[in-house]
Amino acid sequence: MSTRTQDLVAKKRRWYYLKNNLLTFYATFRLARNPQATKYVFMIGDTQDNIGESERRLGRYPNDPYRSAALEALWQEGYRPPLYDLDELGKLPPHTLGGAYARHMRANELSVDYYPADRVPRNRMQYLRQRMRQTHDIWHVLTGFGTTEFEEVGIQGFYAGQLVSSMAGIIGAGAFMKSIARCKLDELFKHMDAFCEGYCAGKRAESLLAVKWEELWGESLDSLRRRYRINVPGRAEPVARVRELKAVA
């Protein structure tokens, strides 16, 4: 490839990144104003996935998740399970993954088809995003994070600990900036604490990205947490140790 052609390709890529980042910043601004407007969460994810897939193909994505043979196999298989049946899962004991998931969804009045997953993914990163959306509330149940604004920031921290996620970083930073702009330092502390707690737990845990949770509905939460080294919130040692040292000081 000639130098001129390389320059044109690089310029086109920069404009592509700029367009996607501008859409990301717009969505972040709208999300900060209304944290319940989850369509902007989807917009952030889609635009950053576009950039992530481009960087992954260039070999510049840190810790490319598709180095995992299990995740690559999911992509090659086109694994896309049907919508979960809460009535059937609700028949399982509450200590099982399926039983706890069904109760979590009903207690919080959540719908299994809330996250759009009807589009056929164009590339690996978009596939991973769709898979993470489908299993988002399964991760809530496994980690113990609830659905408050602060705990949603915590689960984003957990995502960031599992893989390099610009979306998680953007949502976390957006929450920090919102608290700062409103001069609510108590909220800033809670947001930062939740993100750090989730990040530490995500780093310690085994990778959850390629797990077929749909085949594990009948297993107990305790056994799954032990197997994948998932420490529920409040037991994150680094955060707890920081609090302890702060209290002593």
Model confidence at 233, pLDDT cuts 50, 70, 90, reads: low
What was the pLDDT predicted at 114?
A: 59
pLDDT one-digit tens code per residue, 154-208: 999 999 999 988 888 888 888 888 888 888 889 999 999 999 999 999 999 999 9
Distance from C-alpha of 99 to C-alpha of 205, rounded to nearest angstrom: 22
Output the CA–CA distances (angstroms, integers) from residue 18 to 22, 59, 126, in the order listed.
6, 20, 19
For residues 61 and 230, the model is more confident at 230
What was the pLDDT predicted at 224?
A: 96
Distance from C-alpha of 204 to C-alpha of 197, rounded to nearest angstrom: 11
CA atoms within 13 A on the CB side of 107: 12
Q: Is the pLDDT of residue 249 over 50?
A: no
pLDDT one-digit tens code per residue, 79-90: 999 889 999 999
Contact yes or no for 158/198 (Cβ under 8 A): yes
**Angle at which helices 39-57 and 166-181 cross, to 10°:** 140
Q: Is the pLDDT of residue 248 over 80?
A: no
For residues 108 and 60, the model is more confident at 108
pLDDT one-digit tens code per residue, 13-55: 888 888 988 998 898 888 877 877 778 888 888 888 888 888 8
Backbone angles phi, psi at 220, to 5 degrees: -75, 150
What was the pLDDT predicted at 162?
A: 95
